[in-house]
């Protein structure tokens, strides 16, 4: 269905691109910078002008027929539900797992949400480890549980544990006297199939949006590293650092780009890890069951449950999901909100633009000026958001700066406005108020704004 939709709409982005170019050429040199930077086109030429519930699920508007076919195959794979073996199609679920398909967590290729109190986990998972590092410098798996808690199991196997969430409420005040209330989730792990170690660390993570990943992957490591300032040599209070993580294919330590702590080096490995941990599906990169050495393991040396060609297609699908265009980018209140965003220092981490590098084998992603509003580095976000669980070089206080492009369409696509790594923020304003650590100064500037200024800053974010 997406392919047919793209066929009908691909002409519109090209027409609007041409119109935007003519429009910008007519602008005077002293006019609003937004037009000069062409921020309407968040994904460069791979931007789509769709703002409905399919906004995150469109393929690149510029993609040759052969690549479009691979994208469509990957789309089907992303949406396919796995079942218990033996089965003629999509066999191999489990033995323990979190969900049955990619789309079950990344609904509409967008953002997951935490459960309501009393609900079971659907698009949120729990990463676990014990102190120390594995052979590659990553988190140390928990004996009997691995690196991720699986709360579901096939018939005849035991789920690893159940997870319940309760909410605690925190009241605060803006400088103008208006109050706000934040929710702080508390996750309770219970009914584990065997005792858990007392020193186990855990980190709840909601499923992040998956559009635009190929463009972020196409930004050179050198461009990302130019913004790193691990020791804050310029004394601006921002000390973003790169996370270097294990590449399971090459055996090297590469720049981490994806995941809440930048724990994966590329889209294909991120996809393979999700298949293995989230669904219990073995594949060419992760060939062992996630429950290996546990009682749930059937001790059979089976063939890979996901072929390399399908893994490649699913990764390519994610690499070629387009970015929705800005909305209301020329609105005066939006422009005032952007100025407030930059004045508050938010742009020091949520850097507006990047340029992808040249790729002769993939010209569709080459030399694109994109506006993801991220630096792809990890930053100390303070004690309030800390999970106290390290992941390679990222410590228990640090999180990767998430891209903000498309964030204003979350309600339209996913039906909620929950943000941050565990979905605790129920609005963009709450997400800002949770910022601490390196972002504490920016958070305080937001608190000190007038109500009208806060609304304009949020209106800017909703335009992304």
Say if residue 95 is preceded by a cis peptide, omega within 30 of 0: yes
Per-residue pLDDT, 4: 33
What pLDDT is attached to residue 23? 32
Residue 175 main-chain phi, psi, to 5 deg: -65, -25
Residue 415's pLDDT is: 97
What SS3 state is found at 147? Answer: coil
Q: Are residues 356 and 215 in contact, defined by beta-carbon separation less than 8 angstroms? A: yes
Do 59 and 71 meet the contact criterion of CB atoms below 8 Å apart?
yes
Residue 303: band (very low, low, confident or very high) from pLDDT cuts 50, 70, 90? confident
At 214, is the pLDDT very low, low, confident or very high (cuts 50, 70, 90)? very high
The full DSSP string for 360-411 is TT-GGGTT-EE-------EEE--TTT-----BTTB-TTEEE----TTGGGHH
Distance CA 441, CA 181 (A): 20
**Per-residue pLDDT for 20 more than 70?**
no
| pLDDT of res. 299 | 82
* Strand 124-133 with 201-206, pairing: antiparallel
Q: Provide the number of structural domains found in the chain.
A: 1
* Rounded mean pLDDT, 59-87: 97
pLDDT at 335: 95
Average pLDDT over residues 373-393: 98
pLDDT band at 427 (very low <50, low <70, confident <90, very high): very high
Q: What is the mean pLDDT of residues 51-68?
A: 97
The predicted structure's pLDDT at residue 37:
59
Average pLDDT rounded to a whole number, residues 58-70: 98
Whether pLDDT at 28 is above 50: no
Q: Tell me the percentage of the chain whose pLDDT exceeds 70.
A: 92
**C-alpha 108, offset from chain centre:** 13
Mean pLDDT score of the chain: 92
User: Minimum mean pLDDT among 16-20, 175-179, 325-329: which range?
Assistant: 16-20
Residue 101, CB-side half-sphere exposure with 13 Å CA sphere: 16
- For the entire predicted model, the pTM comes to 0.91
Which phi and psi (to 5°) does residue 290 adopt?
Answer: -65, -20
pLDDT for res 117: 84
Residue 15 has pLDDT above 80, yes or no: no
Does 4 map to a domain? Answer: no
pLDDT at residue 12, rounded to an integer: 36
pLDDT (tens digit per residue) in 170-200: 999 999 999 999 999 999 999 999 999 999 9
What is the share, in percent, of the chain residues with pLDDT greater than 90? 89
Q: What pLDDT digit, counting tens, does each position of 336-381 carry? A: 999 999 999 999 999 999 999 999 999 999 999 999 999 999 999 9
Which position has the higher pLDDT, 275 or 8?
275
Q: Say yes or no to pLDDT of 282 above 50.
A: yes
What pLDDT score was predicted for residue 39?
A: 86
Query: Which pLDDT score, from 0 to 100, does residue 412 have?
Result: 98
Q: Lowest mean pLDDT of 24-28, 136-140, 146-150, 183-187, name the range.
A: 24-28
DSSP class of residue 248? T
Q: What mean pLDDT do residues 114-132 have?
A: 94
pLDDT over 60 (residue 3): no
Query: Could you list the residue range(s) of the whole structural domain that residue 276 is in?
Result: 74-218+267-319
How far out from the chain centre does Cα 233 lie?
Answer: 29
Residue 408: pLDDT over 80: yes
**Residue 156: which residues within 8 A CB-CB, separation 6 or more?**
none
Whether residue 458 lies inside any domain: the answer is no
Q: What is the mean pLDDT of residues 42-61?
A: 98
| CA distance to 38, 56, 330, per residue, from 52 (Å) | 22, 9, 20
Give me the pLDDT at residue 32, please.
Answer: 38
Q: Is residue 312 part of a domain?
A: yes
Q: Is residue 430 part of a domain?
A: no
Secondary structure (3-state) at 12:
helix
Structural contact between residues 428 and 458, judged by C-beta atoms closer than 8 angstroms: yes
């Amino acid at each position: 269905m997406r392919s047919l939709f793209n066929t009908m709409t691909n002409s519109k982005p090209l027409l609007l691109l041409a119109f935007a170019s003519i429009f910008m050429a007519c602008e005077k040199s002293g006019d609003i910078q937004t037009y000069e930077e062409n921020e309407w086109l968040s994904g460069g030429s791979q931007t789509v002008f769709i703002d409905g519930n399919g906004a995150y699920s469109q393929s690149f508007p510029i993609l040759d027929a052969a690549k479009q076919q691979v994208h469509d195959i990957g789309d089907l794979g992303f949406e396919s539900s796995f079942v218990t073996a033996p089965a003629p199609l999509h066999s191999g679920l489990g033995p323990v797992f979190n969900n049955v398909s990619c789309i079950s967590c990344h609904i509409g290729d967008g953002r997951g949400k935490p459960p309501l109190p009393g609900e079971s986990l659907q698009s949120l998972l729990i990463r676990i480890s014990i102190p120390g590092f594995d052979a590659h410098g990553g988190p140390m798996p928990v004996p009997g549980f691995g690196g991720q808690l699986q709360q579901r199991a096939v018939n005849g196997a035991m789920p690893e544990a159940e997870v319940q969430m309760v909410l605690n409420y925190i009241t605060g005040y803006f400088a103008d006297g208006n109050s706000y209330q934040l929710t702080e989730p508390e996750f309770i792990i219970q009914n584990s199939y065997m005792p858990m170690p007392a020193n186990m660390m855990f980190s709840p993570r909601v499923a992040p949006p998956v559009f635009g990943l190929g463009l972020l992957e196409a930004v050179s490591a050198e461009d990302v590293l130019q913004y790193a300032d691990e020791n804050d040599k310029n004394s601006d209070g921002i000390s973003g650092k790169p996370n270097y993580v294990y590449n399971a294919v090459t055996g090297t330590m590469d720049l981490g780009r994806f995941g809440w702590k930048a724990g994966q080096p590329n889209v294909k490995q991120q996809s393979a890890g999700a298949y293995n941990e989230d669904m219990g599906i073995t594949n060419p990169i992760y060939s062992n069951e996630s429950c290996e050495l546990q009682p749930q393991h059937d001790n059979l040396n089976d063939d890979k449950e996901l072929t390399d060609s399908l893994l490649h297609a699913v990764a390519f699908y994610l690499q070629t999901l387009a970015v929705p265009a800005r909305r209301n980018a020329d609105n005066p209140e939006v422009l005032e909100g952007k100025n407030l965003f930059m004045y508050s220092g938010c742009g020091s981490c949520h850097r507006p633009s990047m340029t992808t590098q040249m790729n002769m084998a993939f010209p569709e992603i080459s030399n694109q000026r994109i506006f993801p509003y991220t630096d792809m580095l990890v930053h100390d976000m303070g004690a309030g958001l800390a999970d106290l669980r390290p992941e390679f070089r990222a410590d228990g206080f640090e999180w990767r700066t998430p891209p903000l492009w498309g964030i204003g369409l979350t309600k339209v696509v996913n039906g909620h406005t929950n943000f941050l790594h565990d979905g605790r923020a129920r609005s963009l304003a709450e997400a800002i108020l949770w910022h601490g650590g390196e972002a504490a100064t920016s958070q305080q500037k937001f608190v000190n704004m007038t109500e009208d200024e806060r609304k304009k800053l949020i209106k800017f974010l909703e335009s992304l």
